A and B are shown apart, each in its own frame.
Chain A
Amino acid sequence: MYQYDQYDQAMVDARVAEFRDQCQRRIDGKLTEEQFKPLRLMNGLYLQLHAYMLRVAIPYGTLSGRQMRALADIADKFDRKYGHFTTRQNIQYNWIKLEDAGDILAELAKVEMHAIQTSGNCIRNISSDHFAGAAADEVTDPRPYAELLRQWSSFHPEFSYLPRKFKFAVIASDTDRAAMRLHDIGIQIVRNEAGELGAAFYVGGGMGRTPMIAPCIRQFVPLDQLITYSEACLRVYNRYGRRDNKYKARIKILVHELGAEEYTRQVEAEFAHLLEQGIEPPFAELARIRTFFEDPAFEAGAADELDRSDPDFAVWADRNTHPHKQAGYLSAVISLKPVGGIPGDATADQMRLMAQLAEDYSFDECRVIHTQNIVLPHVRKADLYAVWQKLEASGLGTPNLDQVGDIIACPGLDYCSLANARSIPVAQRISERFAANGKGETLGELKLKISGCINACGHHHAGHIGILGVDKKGVENYQLLLGGSEAEDTSLGKITGPGFSEDGIVDAVETAADVYLAQRQDGERFLDTYRRIGMEPFKEALYG
């Protein structure tokens, strides 16, 4: 876990006091909404369809039990007893009162949390692999580097007013679990032939209106130059990014318009200049940060066998766990996608249970996954059955990880003022449909992602099946996309053809799934079959 030092705490506390005062001045009429809006957005406070919405930063998704419990208490005390975990590994509260905002931020500050830089044209919450520090396949733990980037980017004066928002992801394995190449900057920590660690930089990816896969602009940046190289990437963007046109202001457009080669040339020139300035934090700082992420005291010789005698447990254990680097341990994924439920929502009581499980069984740690689930990263196999029983009793034991029911859905028109169409009801109906027809298990891995507008918070471009809600003369309509992936084989989905009504899109997803079932060859996932047979058989079935 990261830990605040006295400076971090003092800065966050000062910001709470400042924002409390700004809220009061707004309520008293000393600030107009026009003056106040940028101030509240800097503190993660939006005005959404039904109320104010507060987005709280969860650095690379990681939470202690105490922090998760604090989030539950805020849900109880200041909201309507639930919260929504987002695709940026954050949490949002939907029913916040302006007059409570200062108190909520003060509660967060007590547990080393805040809502700073969860909105606005700045560097947003750094995301990472949710299995970091637990996965067997990583070359190192990426979290110290994510934390270094977090500290560098927090309150960075030069990057407080970028042309547009800016998102980093950091991973350290060839398997990409963080949609790394769909970020403004994706960093993969790699090991070179000499055995040294370095960072591969992928710049200019993103979803939204103009989805792009980030090209690799440098294969290996020594880790003691990580911040300097990041700064160079940002500087070139800050200088030349399209501030004149919101829709062309993301770095992906700059990289695309300049060409990756020319952008890289400019970054390298800036990098050479910055190296002379000596801006890289001292190595001692990275060493200090690393101590926060040392392995917990795993039990040597922990039993490596699972008691699978309960068949329901066995199904869940097979589906919702991930191998751990330590013998006798697993990472256990808690699905926030019950059949017919709202993806990513958790009640305050469920959050408290997850906090307790983190404390009792996972070295006081849980993580938010960008797929809107929660992971307990370090669970002893011997404890897994007890964990599952408690989850099952609280409606958190759905065994559907990476299956068709494990849908990413943004808040859509039920909550979001930018939405064109509702996302959540479509997700609910699809998960109900596939639970009822029994095809969910048969389909195997099928990642379905739904956004309520082109901003793509629901990652629809990267779904094996993606759905985009559009407004067709005031009526909700849904485009279907096939073939996206946000894993290491990153690809962007293609639109099948004309859109569908709400009823129609549920049928269309089933039709696409049926084409796959009819055509798949041994061991193929939906995505593999789509890539082999192409769009035509799907179009034929969908439109005749």
Chain B
Amino acid sequence: MNILTGNDLKTGAVIWWDGAGWSLHLDDAADAGDDAAAIIAREEAARRVNAPYAINAERTGSGVRPAHIKDRIRGLGPTVRPDLTLKPEDPQAVHEVI
């Protein structure tokens, strides 16, 4: 699938296009299909996202998994600070992004 990501303009938080808006949670990411460029242009112009880009990902049994490790780390948080990730209570989460 073709998913969209960027950062929240004010907070810098990593966000994912969920089909209607932007979510903090990678697992909410929606397939933008062929509309990626149009969505990026529209959302960036409206300042609902900063520095957006499209990436390849796949939906697995446990959620959405970007093809590249960099985006998997963006989706979770720093692997060396599980307490600061989006899943601090899940000790497996860090291992799954690697």
Q: Is A50 an interface residue (CB 8 A)?
A: yes
Among B32-69, those with CB < 8 Å from A are: 44, 47, 50-51, 67-69
Query: Complex Cα distance A450/B13, Å?
Result: 27
Closest to B83 in A: A80
Q: Are B79 and A425 in contact (CB under 8 A)?
A: yes
Which of A29, A99, A417, A476 contacts B11 (CB under 8 A)?
Answer: A99
Task: Compute how far the CA of A97 lies from the CA of B7 in the bound complex, rounded to whole angstroms.
Answer: 11
Taking a contact as CB atoms closer than 8 A, the residue among A52, A95, A414 that contacts B73 in the complex is A414
Bound-complex Cα distance A94 to B44 (A): 23
Interface size, chain B (Cβ < 8 Å)? 24
- Measured in the bound complex, the distance between the Cα atoms of B50 and A98 in whole Å is 11
Q: B9: which A residues are within 8 A, CB to CB?
A: 26-27, 98
Residues of A near B77 (CB, < 8 A) are 50
| Contact A47 B11, beta carbon cutoff 8 Å | no
B25 within 8 A of A: no
B14 at the interface (CB under 8 A from A): yes
Task: Tell me if A415 counts as interface (CB < 8 A to partner B).
Answer: yes
Whether the Cβ atoms of B69 and A476 lie closer than 8 Å is yes
Query: In the assembled complex, how far is the CB of residue A30 from the closest CB belonging to chain B, in whole angstroms?
Result: 10
Tell me if A428 and B12 are in contact (CB < 8 A): no
Q: A424 at the A/B interface (Cβ < 8 Å)?
A: yes
In A129-158, the 8 Å CB interface with B consists of none
- A474 close to B (CB within 8 Å): yes
Closest to A98 in B: B10
Chain A residue numbers with a CB within 8 Å of B81 are: 342, 414
Residue A96, interface by CB 8 Å: yes
Query: In the complex, are the beta carbons of B80 and A98 less than 8 A apart?
Result: no
**Chain B residues engaging chain A, CB cutoff 8 angstroms:** 7, 9-14, 44, 47, 50-51, 67-70, 73-74, 77-81, 84, 98
A contact residues vs B (CB 8 Å cutoff): 26-27, 29, 33, 47, 49-52, 80, 94-99, 342, 413-415, 417, 419, 422, 424-425, 428, 474-476
A-B contact pairs, 30 of them (CB 8 A): A27-B10, A27-B47, A29-B47, A33-B50, A49-B74, A49-B78, A50-B13, A50-B14, A50-B78, A51-B14, A52-B12, A95-B12, A96-B12, A97-B11, A97-B12, A98-B11, A99-B10, A342-B81, A413-B69, A413-B73, A414-B73, A414-B80, A414-B81, A419-B70, A422-B79, A422-B80, A425-B79, A428-B80, A474-B69, A475-B69
